[in-house]
Amino acid sequence: MNIELQIKTDNDGGPCWDNSCNARHKVTSEEGGYVIVGQKIQDPAVRARLGIADSEEAVWVPDPIIER
């Protein structure tokens, strides 16, 4: 999988100065799509409502990651 960084921001939508930031990457290889890096959702009730499969993970990201 080849990826290209599109945006990286902190939880407030500001610039990110370390490696613990949210990010959106465009997949540039044939499978296409995006890779999102964010805060892992750990609340069991939320995870249950999302119906997350064993092979999946859910992350939270601030609005600018999606809306830019």
Q: 48 to each of 5, 38, 45, 55, how far by Cα in Å?
A: 30, 19, 5, 14
pLDDT in tens, 5-31: 998 887 777 777 777 788 999 999 999
Q: Give the whole-number percent of the chain exceeding pLDDT 90.
A: 56
Task: Give CA–CA dist 47/68, Å, rounded.
Answer: 26
Structure tokens at 35: 């890779």
So where are the chain's domains?
3-67
- Band the pLDDT of 68: cuts 50, 70, 90: low
